[in-house]
Amino acid sequence: MKNANKSMQIDKTKLQQSYHKADDKGKQILEDLFGKDVFNDKIVNKIKTFKDACKMENVNCKAFLSKCKKNNDSKDEIAYKKLKIIARAINEGWVPDFNNESEYKYYPYFNAKSGFGFSYAFYDYTNTYSAVGFCLCFKTRELAEYAGRQFESIYKDYFANL
């Protein structure tokens, strides 16, 4: 078999579309061939680092950090800018409507009394109060909890001078 070691390229988007259209047997075959992770399209599995969020938002990380340095931004200012990028990426295009009082908006809640640490996600449904900035809220409690845990060190930098 001369051609046994040939490789081929597969478009990941088309592969994922095929997976979602497949029946259970077809999905199992695709998972066996490519692994389950290829078909897990939850946003929390795509964004594990600030770099991942930058990639999702088409932000050049090096240029971003260079601009922050050039502007002489403080550590908390850089953290705030990072968290805005992270929140946009995790929310996948969702933008909070602060004129809609019935729309919940979630944000991580931290306990700083006994050392800094993530406590739980909190929500606020009014447009008159926000503990961490309106652009740092999330569309679900789960996403807020994820952001608080996954990016705790960036939140810590953000809250350092408040």
pLDDT at position 116: 55
Whole-angstrom CA distances from 132 to 40, 84, 87, 144, 156 are 30, 11, 12, 12, 12
Percent of the chain with pLDDT over 70: 83
CB neighbour burial string for 32-41, b if at least 16 within 10 angstroms, e if fewer: eeeeeeebee
pLDDT at 86 > cutoff 70: yes
What pLDDT sits at residue 55? 92
Q: How does DSSP classify residue 138?
A: B
Mean of the per-residue pLDDT values of the chain: 84
pLDDT band at 148 (very low <50, low <70, confident <90, very high): very high
Q: For position 132, what pLDDT does the model report? A: 45
DSSP codes, 96-133: --TT-TTS-EEEEEEE-BTBSEEEEEEEE-SSS--SS-
CA-CA distance, 101 to 105, in Å (whole number)? 10
In this predicted model, what pLDDT tens digit does every residue of 102-118 receive, in sequence order? 999 998 888 766 555 55
With vertex at residue 50, the alpha carbon angle to CA 129 and CA 61, rounded to the nearest 5 degrees, is 115
| More confident of the two residues 12 and 64 | 64
Burial class (CB in 10 A: 0-12, 13-18, 19+), 113: exposed
Paired strand residues for 105: 124
Report strand pairing: 105-111 vs 117-124. antiparallel
Statement: residue 2 has pLDDT above 70: no
Q: Domain limits of the chain?
A: 12-41, 46-159
Question: Could you give the count of Cα atoms lying within 13 Å of 76 in the half-sphere of its Cβ?
Answer: 7
Q: Tell me: the pLDDT tens digits for 62-76?
A: 999 999 999 999 999
For the chain, give the percent of residues with pLDDT over 90. 49
